[in-house]
Amino acid sequence: MNKRNILITGGAGFIGSHVVRLFVNKYPDYRIVNLDALTYAGNLANLKDIENTPNYVFEKADICDFEAMEQIFKKYNIDGVIHLAAESHVDRSIKDPFSFAKTNIMGTLNLLEAARRTWQIPNSKSQIPNLFYHVSTDEVYGELDFDDTLFTETTAYDPHSPYSASKASSDHFVRAYRDTYGLPIVISNCSNNYGPYQFPEKLIPLFINNIRHNKPLPVYGKGENVRDWLYVTDHARAIDVIFHNGKQGDTYNIGGFNEWKNIDLIKVIIETVDRLLGRTKGESEKLITYVTDRAGHDLRYAIDATKLKNELGWTPSLQFEEGIEKTAQWYLENQDWLDNVTSGDYQQYYEKMYG
Ligand code: NAD
Ligand code: TYD
């Protein structure tokens, strides 16, 4: 008998794979069902180290397929959900907003409805407290000016990209299921993650890979945009804490208290990768290429994670310099992983964006 049966969606992606690994290893008495459609961003190689663990199951399925979702809830007697599956890259959302609306909004709605139908059977005697945990982003809050105060859990939503608009919409649906049907939910909104297994279309792995291959580093606009960065395993730890101890119905912001202007961050990446490759200090700065700015490019994201710290005792464990060093080292040592994911669809995408 498993103590719990937890469905993790998007578990073959970047953050999802770290969450699956943490839960499979830390909770041997839970059954962890990883549900993923294996889009371009999903890669089972991210989970090679745990794929044969007895409490781990993989289901290839699309969250847009409602019948499949209902069946999976029943088949595994799912009592908790950690929902990460999504289209996640802002630049792709500008090229193809429909797939973001489909997966991020309709896919989330399918899961909510499957959870409601499974968990709210009249007279259900289940002793396990059900929970639908929705993993979201700080981008729903819109952008800050350089001197604005940080996003808190009560900041009004003001999304600007099709990606953030679709995530904002999914957050609203999750709260609507809480308020209308009493579905037990919790939401977290996190800042930019970095670390191993991130698809190299996002800034940090893209630039590490390009420096390695002496390819141009496309800096949008003047490189003045600011992001708050959190090492991915710290996000996974926060999800664990919120899933088990968070207040039902609440929202928690997760962030690194670690803001960087893009161009300054890029110089740290260059310094680190050059050093690890035995190149002269700053040698790869010549690769910096300023390109046309992203449409609707949010100036600054910065998150206040004080509630999570005060109520649940979570703080980031890794200093940024340490995190970047570990990250650069991992990508340089895992060139096979990079080569594998940068083939096929990604090549065409890369040509379209940067070619
Ligand atoms: P990712 O793009 O690396 O992974 C997404 C995963 O979802 C992939 O494995 C993909 O195959 C799967 N997926 C996509 N569409 C699906 C569908 N229709 N059905 C089933 N599976 C599907 O994304 P990520 O960076 O790991 O982000 C995970 C979640 O965290 C997302 O919800 C994202 O909005 C949120 N988030 C990400 C960040 C970040 O910095 N990356 C920050 C805050 C929040
Ligand atoms: P990204 O990793 O796409 O995350 P997000 O847009 O969700 O914050 O981008 C991080 C920052 O880096 C963002 O301000 C856009 C910028 N950026 C570039 O300057 N060049 C690039 O090639 C990419 C992918 C991003």
Catalytic residue flag (residue 201): no
Whose tokens are 């499974």? That residue is 118
Residue 354 is predicted with a pLDDT of: 58
Q: 30-54 b/e with 16+ CB inside 10 Å = b?
A: bbbbbbbbebbbbbeebbeebeeee
Convert the pLDDT of each residue in 113-145 to its tens digit: 999 999 987 655 567 799 999 999 999 999 999
Residue 9 is predicted with a pLDDT of: 99
Candidates 30, 56, 163, 331; catalytic one: 163
Q: Give the three-state DSSP class for 123.
A: coil
Select from 56, 35, 51 the least CA-distant residue to 115.
35
Rg (CA), the chain: 20
Q: What percent of the chain has pLDDT over 70?
A: 95
Residue 340 is predicted with a pLDDT of: 86
Residues of the domain holding 8: 4-193+230-257+299-319+345-354
Residue 62 is predicted with a pLDDT of: 98
The number of domains in the chain is: 1
Asked whether residue 183 is domain-assigned, the answer is yes
Instruction: Tell me the HSE value of 276 on the side-chain side, using a 13 A CA sphere.
Output: 20
Asked whether residue 331 is domain-assigned, the answer is no
Q: What is the mean pLDDT of residues 281-289?
A: 96
Res 1 pLDDT > 90: no
Threshold 0.95, pTM exceeds: yes
Q: Measuring from each residue's beta carbon to the nearest atom of ligand 2, which residues come in under 6 Å?
A: 90, 192, 202-203, 206, 218-220, 225, 227, 262, 294
How far apart, in whole angstroms, are the C-alpha atoms of residue 168 and residue 31?
Answer: 30
How far apart, in whole angstroms, are the C-alpha atoms of residue 299 and residue 7?
Answer: 35
Strands 192-194 vs 226-231: parallel, antiparallel or unpaired: parallel
Residue 128 is predicted with a pLDDT of: 77
Res 349 pLDDT > 90: no
Structure tokens belonging to residue 310: 């005060």
What's the CA-to-centroid distance between 284 and ligand 1, angstroms?
Answer: 31
Q: Going by CA atoms, what residue is nearest to atom 21 of ligand 2? A: 203
pLDDT mean across residues, the chain: 95
Q: What is the mean pLDDT of residues 300-308?
A: 98
Residue 348 is predicted with a pLDDT of: 63
The values of phi and psi at residue 297, to 5°, are: -60, 115
Asked whether residue 222 is domain-assigned, the answer is no
What CATH number is given to the structural domain containing 11?
3.40.50.720
Residue 2 is predicted with a pLDDT of: 83
Q: Going by CA atoms, what residue is nearest to atom 22 of ligand 2? A: 218
How far apart, in whole angstroms, are the C-alpha atoms of residue 51 and residue 58?
Answer: 8
Asked whether residue 224 is domain-assigned, the answer is no
Res 287 pLDDT > 90: yes
The residues with which 183 forms a beta bridge, in sequence order, are none
Asked whether residue 27 is domain-assigned, the answer is yes
Q: Give the three-state DSSP class for 154.
A: coil
Res 346 pLDDT > 70: no
Q: What is the mean pLDDT of residues 208-219?
A: 97
Convert the pLDDT of each residue in 71-81 to its tens digit: 999 999 999 99
Asked whether residue 40 is domain-assigned, the answer is yes
Convert the pLDDT of each residue in 314-341 to its tens digit: 999 999 999 999 999 999 999 989 988 8
Q: Going by CA atoms, what residue is nearest to atom 20 of ligand 2? A: 219
Asked whether residue 202 is domain-assigned, the answer is no
Q: What is the mean pLDDT of residues 296-321?
A: 97
Select from 106, 123, 92, 116 the least CA-distant residue to 182.
116
Residue 353 is predicted with a pLDDT of: 61
Strands 251-254 vs 217-220: parallel, antiparallel or unpaired: unpaired
Catalytic residue flag (residue 163): yes
What's the CA-to-centroid distance between 81 and ligand 1, angstroms?
Answer: 15
Q: Which helix (DSSP H) or strand (DSSP E) does residue 249 occupy?
A: none
Asked whether residue 151 is domain-assigned, the answer is yes
Convert the pLDDT of each residue in 226-264 to its tens digit: 999 999 999 999 999 999 999 999 999 999 999 999 999
pLDDT band at 154 (very low <50, low <70, confident <90, very high): very high
